[in-house]
Amino acid sequence: MRLSDAEVYEKYAGELVRFATGLVGPSDAPDVIADAFVRVLRSGSWPDVDEQRAYLYRAVLNEVKMRHRSTMRRRAREMRAAEPEAVYDVEIRPEVLEAMSVLSAQQRAAVVLSYWEDLAPVEIGERLGVSEGSVRRHLARGRAKLREVFDA
């Protein structure tokens, strides 16, 4: 039986917020998820979607791509400028946000799903709707960019 919209949200919002946190940081992740859900539920194709989980992951990634790329970099600057504990109740070093900000949204998605969920490239590809080769390429690029950051 198909779940109601609220039930779908309750079921997937937690893991999607963790995924979005890897993409845009903790401050914007809940808003990204809310916006992505609203967009999905308004979509005419949603009632016919079979793989709802994968569809939602792609919708979140798409939502992130539509937002400004420098969100993480801006957040890192804000954290440096402010007393972190006065602004954020989560412990995240600005260096982490800055490092991730050098990656494209697709590269971040591949890195998060690979290193957090331990998914293989083929599984990441199924989740994000891209080929295994594309995932491998994003991972390779992401690793190369992060190596430069860590070596700097």
Partner 1 sequence: MPDRLDQEIRSMVVELVESSPAPHPAHSALRAGSLPVRPLTMRSGLSRAFAAAVVVLLVGLAGAWIGRSVIPLDTASDVSIVEGAPAPEPGFEPFGKQMRLLPSTGEVQPEIAPGTVAGEVTAVGRIQDTDLEVFIWKTTDPENGTCLQVIGFRAKHTTCEGVFDSDLIVRSPFVFARFDETTSDPIDVVAVWRVPDNTSIVQVGVGDTVLWQRPNSGVVAFAFDADAPRVILNAVDTDSESVGTSFFSPVQVANPEVVDDITLQGSPQDLVELDDNHPALRLLAEGATDYKTFAETASERDLEAVCTAGGGWPAYQLCLVAHDGVLAVVPFDGLPGLTARISESNLTQDVVVPLNRTEPVGVLNTRPNTSVDIEYFGEETVGGMSAPWSPSQNDS
Tell me how crowded residue 60 is: count the other CB atoms within 10 A of its CB: 28
Does residue 140 belong to the site contacting partner 1 (CB under 8 A)? yes
Residue 14 amino acid letter: G
Collapsed DSSP state (helix, strand, coil) of residue 108: helix
> 58 to 87, contacts with partner 1 by CB under 8 A?
58-59, 62, 65, 69
Site string for partner 1, 23-42 (x = CB under 8 A): --xx--xxxxxxx-xxxxx-
Greatest alpha-carbon pair distance for the chain in Å reads 53
Does residue 143 belong to the site contacting partner 1 (CB under 8 A)? yes
Residue 4 DSSP label: P
**For residues 56 and 81, which CB has a smaller minimum distance to partner 1 in the complex?**
56
Count of alpha carbons within 13 Å of 77, Cβ hemisphere only? Answer: 6
Q: Report yes or no: 54 and 129 within 8 Å, Cβ to Cβ.
A: yes
Q: List contacts with partner 1 (CB under 8 A).
A: 5-6, 9-10, 13-14, 16-18, 21-22, 25-26, 29-35, 37-41, 43, 45-46, 55, 58-59, 62, 65, 69, 90-93, 96-97, 99-100, 104-106, 111-112, 115-116, 129-131, 133-134, 136-137, 140-141, 143-144, 146-147, 150
